[in-house]
């Protein structure tokens, strides 16, 4: 089956360890675009945090952001998929994480909200390239239906324990995932990369079998399993590598470029073009 849509995770997949897109990856994406294949980003990042990378790659397609909670076109601004956290469950989740010794934050209207400044929160804002909005109480934001709630804890063993507890308490009403070892995120149950990618493929008139997804972490698992061709970078978590149809090179070895050449560009050459 010919690949017509490619979804790329950003951090630790398309981006190298310096949070940059390598020349090799950018060139491969440009060549794929020239063949008429759509390439998009599928990231847990905010839309405004993902947008500069999309602009660098001249992407005129909807971007999958906030783990799949918001799919929005980077040129037209059109929203094709939007799944905010139900406020009643978000408030209960926030109340629960307030009892934990950790940093937590939320998002609404493509803004990042804190109710206190912490080193972890400031480091996150710097990495994402966004300015946080400071409010007295996060409840005033969460009651409006945020896009997600993020918990940051550097002690991954402690976060593993909290994840088990939070899944047991909220797994029936929220999608809880880990995008990085020290990030735990809570979203709408249908705010996943797989749900968002399925919506985007349907919007573009593309079948599941014609979709390729590339990722590295637990939040990429459902997308990699859903796509007709699931690819993991070599630095991916073990369950992600096991779930993938193919394991490419690491993010620091231009793994996205290698996969695009193998499954899109070279396959098209072998088959004589579209």
Residue 274 pLDDT:
42
For residue 267, pLDDT beyond 80: no
Write the pLDDT tens digit of every residue in 60-83. 899 999 999 999 998 888 999 999
- The CATH class that applies to domain 87-187 reads alpha beta
What's the chain look like in SS3? CCCCEEEECHHHHHECCCCCECHHHHHHHHHHHHCCCEEEEECCCCHHHHHHHHHHCCCCCEEEEHHHCEEEECCCCCEEEECCCCHHHHHHHHHHHHCCCCEEEEEECCEEEECCCCHHHHHHHHHHCCCCEECCCCHHHHCCCCCEEEEECCCHHHHHHHHHHHHHHHCCCCEEEEEECCEEEEECCCCCHHHHHHHHHHHHCCCHHHEEEEECCHHHHHHHHHCCEEEECCCCCHHHHHHCCEECCCHHHCHHHHHHHHHHHHHHHHCCCC
- Per-residue pLDDT, 82: 98
Same topology, domains 5-82+191-270 and 87-187? Answer is no
pLDDT exceeds 70 at position 271: no
pLDDT of 96 higher than 70:
yes
The percent of residues in the chain predicted with pLDDT above 90, rounded, is 94
Whether residue 190 is predicted with pLDDT greater than 60 in this model: the reply is: yes
pLDDT of residue 1: 75
Q: Is the predicted pLDDT of residue 270 greater than 70, yes or no?
A: no
- The structural domains of the chain, with segments of one domain joined by +, span 5-82+191-270, 87-187
pLDDT tens across 221-266, in order?
A: 999 999 999 999 999 999 999 999 999 999 999 999 999 999 999 8
Per CATH, the architecture of 5-82+191-270 is what? 3-Layer(aba) Sandwich (3.40)
């Amino acid at each position: 089956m010919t690949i017509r849509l490619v979804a790329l995770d950003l951090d630790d997949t398309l981006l190298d360890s310096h949070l940059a897109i390598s020349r090799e990856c950018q060139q491969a994406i440009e060549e794929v675009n020239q063949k008429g294949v759509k390439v998009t980003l599928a990231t847990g990042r905010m839309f405004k945090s993902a947008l500069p990378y999309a602009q660098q790659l001249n992407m005129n397609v909807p971007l999958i952001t906030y783990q799949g909670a918001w799919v929005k076109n980077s040129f037209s601004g059109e929203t094709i998929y939007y799944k905010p956290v139900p406020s009643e469950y978000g408030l209960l989740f926030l109340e629960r994480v307030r009892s934990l010794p950790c940093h937590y934050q939320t998002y609404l209207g493509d803004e990042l909200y804190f109710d206190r400044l912490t080193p972890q929160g400031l480091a996150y804002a710097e990495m994402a390239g966004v300015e946080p909005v400071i409010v007295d109480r996060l409840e005033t934001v969460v009651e409006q239906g945020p896009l997600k709630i993020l918990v940051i804890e550097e002690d991954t063993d402690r976060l593993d324990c909290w994840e088990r507890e939070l899944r047991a308490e909220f797994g029936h009403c929220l999608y809880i995932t880990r995008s990085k070892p020290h990030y735990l995120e809570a979203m709408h149950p249908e705010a996943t990369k797989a749900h968002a990618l399925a919506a985007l493929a349907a919007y573009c008139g593309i079948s599941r079998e014609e979709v390729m997804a590339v990722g590295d972490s637990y939040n990429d698992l459902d997308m990699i399993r859903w796509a007709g061709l699931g690819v993991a970078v070599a630095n991916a978590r073990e369950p992600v590598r096991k779930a993938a149809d193919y394991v490419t090179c690491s993010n620091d070895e231009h793994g996205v470029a290698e996969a695009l050449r193998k499954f899109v560009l070279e396959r098209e050459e072998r088959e004589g073009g579209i």
